[in-house]
Amino acid sequence: MSLDARKQKILQAIVRDYILTAEPVGSRTIARRYLMDISAATIRNEMADLEEMGFLHQPHTSAGRIPSESGYRFYVDNLLDEATLSEQEVQAIKQIYHQQAQVLENVIQEAAHLLSSLTDYMALASGPQAGSSRLQKLHMMEVQKGKALVVVVSDNGLVANRMINLPDDIEQSDLDGISDYINRNFYNVTWNQMLKSGILNVRQDIGRRIEQFDQVVELIQELLLGESTADIYLGGTARILVQPEFQDVNRVRSILKLLDHREAMLSLVGEKQFTDNVQVTIGSENQLEEVENCSLVTALYRWNGAPVGWVGVLGPTRMDYARAMTAVREVSKLLTDIFNKG
């Protein structure tokens, strides 16, 4: 449905004011704060038309109007101005990149906390999904006499590490030889392919030199098989409670209950087809009844060009969409850069 220029300006002003105040917006407010060249009477008539068209509704007879889901959708699709992050916020994003942790799960969790602080909404991030992963690299490093750190990396960015005990006569050159053998013979191979290629026979042979080589093979198996569903990371869950829309106990209880179910949280995004753009689902567009009064803004992050997870924010439909979309886009780029680092 198309709107003429004046109706678009009035709808845009109402959405912006309602995002700021969480209070129904009247014609006089619009005339005084946003559209001083249009009379309150004219704005009132236009607001009545917008309500009849389904873009606004009136919560109480004597109150002003608030945006409907259709109003928010038209605003997001047609009237949104690009938001920018401050230099300080940009530096906070860069700091995570330059202080990247060795365990990527920690990076994802930190990114969720950052996204929540940037938007003041609850942030969510899915970890990389395992299951059909391929071995990218095995590295073994002696950290002290009798101890070695084993690091395994998969092709979709997952990292696992474990300490193992070493015989006294094992040198770093021995560890390098074992690592080179595994990397040369099993690079870019799934666990099932490793079994067919004789990884267990290698374990028997190498196990004579490193007593706990079983743990190395188990670590590879755990990483490449993993679980069928990814992990979910949350940041700023308490922020949902401070929004005026969620002062109703029953409304917030359903959201808090949802947070305890990982599979349900992951299904918030579900099978939706992603593009390279940020995705916005508003109110009843969401698949779960528990968040039918919320909006979800999400974007993918990638490993070697392939999507491996997503990051987003969950908040009221009265969301600052411009800022949320910019923040989600930048944090998804951050995770993509980190996963492809080096």
Assess if CATH 1.10.10.10 describes domain 5-79.
Answer: yes
127 touches 108 (CB < 8 A): yes
Residue-wise pLDDT for 103-145, tens only, equals 667 888 899 999 999 999 999 998 765 555 788 888 888 888 8
Whether the per-residue pLDDT at 255 is higher than 80: the answer is yes
One-letter amino acid for residue 194 of the chain: M
| Mean pLDDT on 161-167 | 82
Q: What pLDDT is recorded for position 273?
A: 47
Task: Compute the mean pLDDT over every residue in the chain, rounded to the nearest whole number.
Answer: 84
Closest CA to 113 of 285, 260, 266, 327: 327
Percent of the chain whose predicted confidence (pLDDT) is above 70? 87
| Mean pLDDT on 16-40 | 95
Top CATH class of 135-225 equals: alpha beta
| Mean pLDDT on 165-179 | 83
CA distance 170 to 142: 9
CA distance 138 to 242: 46
* 87-129+230-339 fold: Beta-Lactamase (3.30.450)
With left for phi above 0 and alpha for psi between -120 and 50, is residue 32 left, alpha or beta? Answer: alpha
| Mean pLDDT on 214-218 | 78
One-letter amino acid for residue 272 of the chain: K
| Mean pLDDT on 144-158 | 81
- The HSE-up count of residue 120 (CA atoms within 13 Å, CB side) is 9
One-letter amino acid for residue 284 of the chain: S
| Mean pLDDT on 19-24 | 94
Closest CA to 320 of 93, 90, 96, 67: 67
Confidence of residue 208 (pLDDT cuts 50, 70, 90): low
Domain boundaries, the chain: 5-79, 87-129+230-339, 135-225
Whether the per-residue pLDDT at 262 is higher than 80: the answer is no
Structure tokens at 2: 């198309």
Confidence of residue 277 (pLDDT cuts 50, 70, 90): confident
DSSP 75: I
Residue with tokens 């330059």: 98
Closest CA to 312 of 236, 226, 229: 236
One-letter amino acid for residue 98 of the chain: H
Residue-wise pLDDT for 76-94, tens only, equals 999 999 899 999 999 988 8
